[in-house]
Structure 1
Amino acid sequence: MAIIRVPNLSPEQRRDATELVKAVETHDHTYREPYLSNQFNYSLTMASFFLAYYDDHLIGLVSLYTDGGAGTMADVFVLVHPEHRRQGVATTMWRAAKPVLLANGYAQWEFITEKVFLNAHPDFLTRTGLSADPETEYQMATAAARFSAPLHSPGHIRQLRTEDVEALVPLYAAAFADQSPSEARTYLTRAIPDAQTLTYVYVLDRQLVGSCAVDISGTSDYFFSLFIGADYQNQGLGTDMVRQIMAVRSASAPRAFTLGVEANNPAALHVYTNAGFNTQTEVVYLVCPTKEDEDR
């Protein structure tokens, strides 16, 4: 078995990773997919993907996501092909990935899984020494369809432009308390629309009052970093923005949409339910209070 470590995936590696994701989801009945890009990672040069190959077949993947600098929490996604589990694949990949995190100043991390996986493997937490964070996240989704634009919208959407960044920085930093203005500026600059990501702003009375990024590289469009400025909340603008984006993105062909929302965020759940989303799976974050190198 060979372990390859790269900061970003080549087209061929992305194809292999996508096939592995599909095999794991089919076997485990899971839905949460790793983000197969480092576009929004804090460091663009840190190795973020660790790929395990056996006879030229990808049998394992570890992805690292860090949206803050040294000292912040890193998200770790581990996938092993069902036919190669309990063979030390995950352990070998993690032993390659953990020193990279430590060398870059990340001493805290959490592993991403789903409640359906834990329910199917009731001994998993005991066997690995991991514990589940009580704060979970719902992944919500819509079926593929053509969505109509709202009939009466108070504002309108358009794609993010470079000149929008400075106006959005204070709104973004206020909406995401763990992001400094500097980090918000970097994030928004990287969110300028490209081949993998589209970012929309919501304009109300000629003022930018919110934005939403959409990962368009997968089988469904994934909404993330959605916010409406504090002074404009509770007016239905978030729902309106989401519906307008869905209408624009599905105009030429039916699209499915997914997103993640904290289970203890009723306001956001209300926005997405009103926009037509239903809960698809419950995402669980695992931490390692005692053992950090057990096989997944």
Structure 2
Amino acid sequence: MPHRLDHAPFLVPPGRRVQLADYDPGETAGLASKKAAKDALLEDVSTLAEMQQLLWASAEYGVLIIFQALDAAGKDSAIRHVMSGVNPQGVDVYSFKAPTDEERLRHFLWRPAKVMPPRGRISIFNRSYYEEVLVVRVHPEWLENQWVPREFRDGDLKGLWQQRFDEINAFERLMIENGVVIIKFFLNVSRKEQRKRFLDRLDNPEKHWKFSASDIEERSHWDEYMRAYEDMLSHTSTLRAPWYVIPADHKWFTRACVADIIASRIEELDLSFPSPSETERLALDAARERLKSE
């Protein structure tokens, strides 16, 4: 199935210093309307369903899909729409909330290590271990309840973030070498569009449950989050686990773009259904003859 989008404008090249001002949150990459994006999404959802069958049957790779974004960027709706055609039995979704007491006593990568996808399955992280170089960086006071190497306990945290970037890259390299395909999305919503979506939640009683007073507090740290995201994207977009900065001001484009990239990345694995061994083939022939003779 041919794909419509050129992914290069959204890809963060390894080693490049990222400036989010260079990425337009309102970009639609030639998909001029909701209908065009919906048609593209439907085709990619269909392709993704076929790819999942191959992924499951071949059991050669697992796929990890990471979504990072500020509040109201559309992570939940992207997951819901993009994965609408896959078999839910082959997909696991994890949301990384505040760490538990058990998790705080361990290295921050212990938590994701437990839920990495086995070969044949897809795991989705709705936020992820990257929170430990994002929200914790904006709120360093949260480190007080975490295990932190002794040399960083006196307030010099610049080295801590670099160490965590290095550890994340090493962790992802190990996962990739063991058959995990890692696809990472940062949904890039503008401050103006976030405000609009927050007001929509406040004005619509059916959306009140989606709003928290803490959302406004976090919005006041917008510039700090932008710097943290830029640093994270610059240090952890690697050749085999690159970041994609996805325009998120138009949800219809976000969904189409994400679906297109996921379908393309799995297609690139060139998977095939496993061929039965001679013993298995003989057993299949015997089963066929037995059924025919009934």
Q: Which has the higher contact order (CA 8 A, sep 6+)?
A: 2
TM-score calculated relative to the size of structure 2? 0.24
Larger-Rg structure: 2
Higher helix share: 2
